[in-house]
Structure 1
Amino acid sequence: MKRHLLFLLVIWAVVGRVTSGWANSILIPMDDQQANHLKAYGIAYKVLKDDQEVDWLLNYRGGSFLIKQTSAFETECRVRGVSFEVLSDAKAASLRQQLADPDLNMNVVTLQKAAKIIVYSPIKVSPSEFENTDAVLLVLTYAEIPYEVVYDEEILKGELPKYDWLHLHHEDFTGQYGRNLHRQSLADIKAQEDIAKKYGFAKVSQMKLAVAKAIKEFCAGGGYLFAMCSGAETFDIALAAEGVDIVGSSYDGDGVDPDAQSKLDFSKSVAFENFTLEGDNGYRGYSTFSDINSTGGRGYDQPGGFFELFNFSAKWDVIPAMLTQNHESIIKEFMGQTTAFRKSAVKPSVLVMGEGKTSHRYLYGELGRGQWTFYGGHDPESVRGGGFRNPTDLNLHPHSPGYRLILNNVLFPSARKKKRKT
């Protein structure tokens, strides 16, 4: 009896080893077979947070993920409603070999460490109801990816180097409070004025410039910057207008420098050049900031078309290939205070990753040792008439290709960075 029991234990041990060898990888598909694309990114981030690696399979089934198989990760996928497949050692090795084929536009990029994520937002210091609709805050929360919130004071105190990834949404770095009271409340404005006074700035515009310069320095030092909507536009305007008063009297009590336009220094901006500033329409007008915005003058315009993601080489243009992974290449356009970027205002050095018929929507660039991405529009699933203060319920949009672009950027800093060849 004892010999029989011992024999069974040995057999079970052998079978256990064989079974674990047959099934030690989890494939998280990102094509149409995925039940929840957005939460899949949260699984990938959690694996990285647990000090495990994630293989990002570029251009394979919509940019799928391959991770080490554990019962904990399987449970996490089930709990979050994320589709997965269990692969044997042999099948996982065969898949990697397939993606290495030089004739296929596919690749494997290993993600190694979870990025420390922060969001620059006035919710740190004021009610800021408008921030309730910030697409990045919404999708990070939905995907269950942890983040911290900072605002002007933390940046002025030099805290940015503690983090890897910084997001700016619809902030106004020119000190014009979004150019209308629909964007920022009186409480939001007072909070900014109080910080400016505390740090010895005579105007909010001067404080915002200092913040913008610190963010640019963070990026040049190796950080990753992701900006959307007017955050991208006003960041560059503020940098180009350093030392020039471009703020009208309705915002700070004194007038604009009459020669402001001719004094702009486009060598200081990151993505845009040769743009023309908009006039001062006061607090309550739906005014845009400049003609960087391709829908300038129409405020929260509702475009009715689509924009297209470019197809990059997964082996040679690895960075843009990562940032454009998706199960759809044609994406519905969406509105914003800065809806899209006028093509002639984009610097030649900038890489365009997505564009519509008349504008660029999705841009990438390198600055010093860091990288940045600018993404036009406010909310990839916004609906005209629903009210811009109404947050999108991402439970209704788990497959959103527009939101996937945001999450591509969240994972990007975890990769071994490679320079583009072209």
Structure 2
Amino acid sequence: MIKKYLLLLGLVGAILGPLKAAYILLPMEHNEQKDHLKAYGITYWVLNKGIEAWWLLNYRGGSFAFEHNKAFEKECLTRGVSYEILPDAQFNNILNQIASPEANMEAMKLEKAPKIAVYSPEVDAKGLSVQPWDDAVTLVLTYAEIPYTMLYDREVMGDKLAEYDWLHLHHEDFTGQHGRNHRGFRSHGWYEESKTRSEELARSLGFNKVSELKLAVVKKIRDFVGGGGFMFAMCSATDTYDIALAADGVDICAEIFDGDPEDPDAQSKLDFNKTFAFKNFTLAESPFERAFSNIDVGRMGRNVSPDQDYFSLFDFSAKWDPVPTILTQCHTRTVKGFMGQTTAFKKQYLKTSVLILGENKAIGEARYIHSIFGKGFWTFYGGHDPEDYRHRIEDPETDLSLHPNSPGYRLILNNILFPAAKKKERKT
């Protein structure tokens, strides 16, 4: 009798297939996830396999979930990512809990791994960056094992952006002023090499000046966003992008940068209707200033000490405003501040259409902002490296294995997975 019962169970198992747990959950709370950054990489890897995933907004720190698979479980173990195995009933209970009108949570379906491009200068023969500084986005993409393609002016002008869903603007100067590095670094070999290389690239693409090439690149990126792309920028790539748009057709470069004097009436000719984020700003008067304009709060005059420098993330309604909720998912609402050539944005120069995601309210600065342009989205994040407070040119790059739970780096990865989310109509 027992043998017949076991045989029957075997036949049922052969028909139904092996019994298994239904879902893997990657908890994203402060103390429950060993490596927050690599958890994004696991989720991207699953999406890249053609498997949909869930982003459980505001549930246990913004957890991820996907169908259980032994290969997925093994990958979590290999990468050191904390996970839990949930049966169908338990996962459905979680979805029901999230769906409750009283819960400020939302279950967002992730459908497809976005194709990622990083706008960054060309590398040398050894594959190393030609610039003497690193980039937080490429650091965290590499650490999280998320694939990306590097492209620069030649590829942008060749209309390669259409092949990608998401674009990051590396620490960059889109105004053609070579990072305003002349005063501090003109005696450094890398500065002259970079300047010469930029000028040769501009000429090879049919432009007389670097500023003219950069303006053309900025317009290509604008069209990419307007057509439905996702653009993310940090540090000086934020304000210089908008300055270049506002200065369309106006020479704002001093003679030390491009060989001829700037337009003396440049300020009055700026067109703020063309910008993404900023309005009514004033260009820097001296070419020897490090700042490009008064948009940036600057390194000097910030009345805050490093140990007190934090910014707060806004708490949005997950069901009514899922986009900003996605972008602010974190295991803490307070994030350590960090500086850069562009550190943060003065609120009085933000357009009314700009949504502030993170701010230091005590000193009146916006650190993390976002909005819509056409059919696409853009996000600006002030500062250079979330885990190096005062990162300087020629400093060594940050070792992210020492910061696997970095809240500041999590914000970058929120933007990277954002295009994978199934679009819902905004309710407000």
Q: Normalization by structure 1: what TM-score?
A: 0.93
1:131–1:327 distance in 2 versus 1, CA, 3 Å: farther
Aligned counterparts of 1:172 and 1:375: Cα–Cα separation in 2: 15
Matches within 5 A, 1:15-414: 23-31=21-29, 32-124=31-123, 128=129, 130=131, 132-181=133-182, 185-282=191-288, 287-295=290-298, 303=306, 304-356=308-360, 357=362, 358-384=364-390, 389-414=395-420
User: What's the offset of the Cα at 1:295?
Assistant: 1.5
Aligned counterparts of 2:147 and 2:227: Cα–Cα separation in 1: 23
User: What's the offset of the Cα at 1:13?
Assistant: 5.8
Q: Which amino acid aligns with 2:100?
A: D
Residue segments in structure 2 that go unaligned for 5+ positions in a row: none
Aligned counterparts of 1:178 and 1:7: Cα–Cα separation in 2: 77
Residue segments in structure 1 that go unaligned for 5+ positions in a row: none
User: What's the offset of the Cα at 1:170?
Assistant: 1.3
User: What's the offset of the Cα at 1:390?
Assistant: 1.5
Aligned counterparts of 1:203 and 1:161: Cα–Cα separation in 2: 26
SS in 2 for 1:226: strand
SS in 1 for 2:103: coil
Paired residues of 1:129 and 1:389 also in contact (CA < 8 A)? no
Q: Which amino acid aligns with 1:393?
A: D
Paired residues of 2:115 and 2:164 also in contact (CA < 8 A)? yes
Q: Which amino acid aligns with 2:298?
A: T
Once the two structures are superposed, residues 146-176 of structure 1 have per-residue CA deviations (whole angstroms, 9 ceiling, x without a partner) of 0000000000111111100000131000001
Paired residues of 2:227 and 2:374 also in contact (CA < 8 A)? yes
SS in 2 for 1:408: helix
Aligned counterparts of 2:332 and 2:230: Cα–Cα separation in 1: 25
Aligned counterparts of 2:140 and 2:305: Cα–Cα separation in 1: 22
1:4–1:361 distance in 2 versus 1, CA, 3 Å: same
User: What's the offset of the Cα at 1:212?
Assistant: 0.3
Paired residues of 1:355 and 1:361 also in contact (CA < 8 A)? yes
Q: Which amino acid aligns with 1:305?
A: D
Aligned counterparts of 2:15 and 2:65: Cα–Cα separation in 1: 21
User: What's the offset of the Cα at 1:68?
Assistant: 0.4
SS in 1 for 2:264: coil
Paired residues of 1:125 and 1:191 also in contact (CA < 8 A)? no
User: What's the offset of the Cα at 1:302?
Assistant: 7.4
Q: Which deviates more from structure 2 when the two are superposed, residues 24-33 or residues 12-21?
A: 12-21
Paired residues of 1:165 and 1:410 also in contact (CA < 8 A)? yes
Aligned counterparts of 2:394 and 2:172: Cα–Cα separation in 1: 15
| Superposition RMSD in Å | 2.3
User: What's the offset of the Cα at 1:16?
Assistant: 8.4
Q: Which amino acid aligns with 1:97?
A: N
Q: Which amino acid aligns with 1:351?
A: L
Q: Which amino acid aligns with 2:295?
A: I
Fraction of identical pairs, as percent: 53
Q: Which amino acid aligns with 1:45?
A: Y
Q: Normalization by structure 2: what TM-score?
A: 0.92
Aligned length, in residue pairs: 416
Paired residues of 1:124 and 1:151 also in contact (CA < 8 A)? no
Once the two structures are superposed, residues 306-326 of structure 1 have per-residue CA deviations (whole angstroms, 9 ceiling, x without a partner) of 100000000000000000000
Once the two structures are superposed, residues 22-49 of structure 1 have per-residue CA deviations (whole angstroms, 9 ceiling, x without a partner) of 6110010000200100000000000100
Paired residues of 1:38 and 1:398 also in contact (CA < 8 A)? yes
1:331–1:7 distance in 2 versus 1, CA, 3 Å: same
1:173–1:272 distance in 2 versus 1, CA, 3 Å: same
Aligned counterparts of 1:280 and 1:294: Cα–Cα separation in 2: 17
Once the two structures are superposed, residues 105-155 of structure 1 have per-residue CA deviations (whole angstroms, 9 ceiling, x without a partner) of 001000000000000000346864546520000000000000000000000
Aligned counterparts of 1:258 and 1:81: Cα–Cα separation in 2: 58
Aligned counterparts of 1:88 and 1:131: Cα–Cα separation in 2: 50
User: What's the offset of the Cα at 1:189?
Assistant: 1.9
2:426 corresponds to: 420
Paired residues of 1:366 and 1:372 also in contact (CA < 8 A)? yes
Aligned counterparts of 1:374 and 1:13: Cα–Cα separation in 2: 58
Q: Which deviates more from structure 2 when the two are superposed, residues 388-397 or residues 27-36?
A: 388-397
Q: Which amino acid aligns with 1:29?
A: P
Once the two structures are superposed, residues 256-294 of structure 1 have per-residue CA deviations (whole angstroms, 9 ceiling, x without a partner) of 111100100000010001101112334xx6x11011101
